[in-house]
Amino acid sequence: MKFNLDLVKISSRVTPLLMYLEKKREDQKIARYVEIGSTFFLISFFILFAIKPTFLTISSLLGDIKSKEILTKQLKSKINDVIVAQDIFSQAQERYALVESSLPINPRFFQANSQIINVAAKNTIALAGADYSIKDSNYFSTSINTITSYQSAVGFISEILQNRRLIDLNGFSFSINEDIPNQININLPLKIYFWKDDAKK
């Protein structure tokens, strides 16, 4: 009986101690959690205010280096292309007069008119005159309406198409002249081209 009483006494003394220890352990656990959480927050803070600017600067610099490498590579090939283009252009420039006679930088009505008159004269075609109309394009147009023989008309067209000055004949019409025998009415709409410098600079 006495033994039982001692047990109850001991138990009543030990229980608060156990509870105290349990609470202590719980507090230690919470402290550990708070410590871990705080560590993560501190690392985040450190990343945001110390590592982030450094990383951004490093990545910008690396990007700049990479872009410069790309630019250098591309520009080297562009320089080579420009050198090749210069060589080819100098070849073309030597023959500039040829290009100019074919496609002049301004309409040069006089040259075109003289050439048409000369070709017509060669083929015994009498031209009364020609009207030129120029629009906002790279050519001006005229129309030749006259009476001539079939051979002369064919010869005229052939020479006009073989002329160095670029002249385009877009369709023509022949009709028999009922008043004069062996003569035909011809209608030739011509387009005479020139180089219109409207390229964007």
Partner 1 sequence: MLKNKLSRYFVLLGICTFLAIFFFVVQQSYNNLMKASNEAKNSPLIRSVSPNLNIEVLDEIEKRTETNL
Taking CB under 8 A as the rule, does residue 93 contact partner 1?
no
Nearer to partner 1, 48 or 176 (CB): 48
- For partner 1, the closer CB: 43 or 126: 43
Residue in 39, 137, 151, 187 binding partner 1, rule: CB under 8 A:
39
Q: Tell me the β-bridge partners of 185.
A: 147, 175
Contact of 199 with 174, CB cutoff 8 Å: no
For residue 159, give every residue at least 6 positions away whose Cβ sits within 8 Å of its Cβ, in sequence order, or none.
119, 122, 123
Minimum CB separation from partner 1 for residue 69, in Å?
A: 9
**Shortest reach from residue 198's CB to partner 1, in Å:** 20
125, exposed or middle or buried, with CB in 10 Å at 0-12, 13-18, 19+?
buried
* Residue whose C-alpha is closest to residue 188's, from 122, 137, 107, 120: 120
H or E element that contains 142: strand 139-148
User: Which of 95, 135, 200, 201 contacts partner 1 by CB under 8 A?
Assistant: 95
State the number of binding residues for partner 1 (CB under 8 A): 58
CA–CA separation, 175 and 30 (whole Å): 112
Task: Characterize 5-35 residue by residue with b for buried, 16 or more Cβ atoms within 10 angstroms of its Cβ, and e for exposed.
Answer: eeeeeeeeeeeeeeeeeeeeeeeeeeeeeee
Considering the complex, state which of residue 8 and residue 199 has its C-beta at the smaller distance from partner 1. Answer: 199
Asked if 28 touches partner 1 (CB under 8 A), the answer is no
Q: Which of 14, 18, 21, 43 binds partner 1 (CB under 8 A)?
A: 43
Kindly identify the residues of this chain, within the stretch 113-172, that bind partner 1 according to CB under 8 A: 114-115, 118-119, 122, 159, 162-165
Site residues for partner 1 per CB under 8 A: 26, 29-30, 33-34, 36-41, 43-44, 47-48, 51-52, 55-56, 58-60, 62-64, 66-68, 70-71, 74-75, 77-78, 81-82, 84-85, 88-89, 91-92, 95, 98-99, 101-102, 111, 114-115, 118-119, 122, 159, 162-165
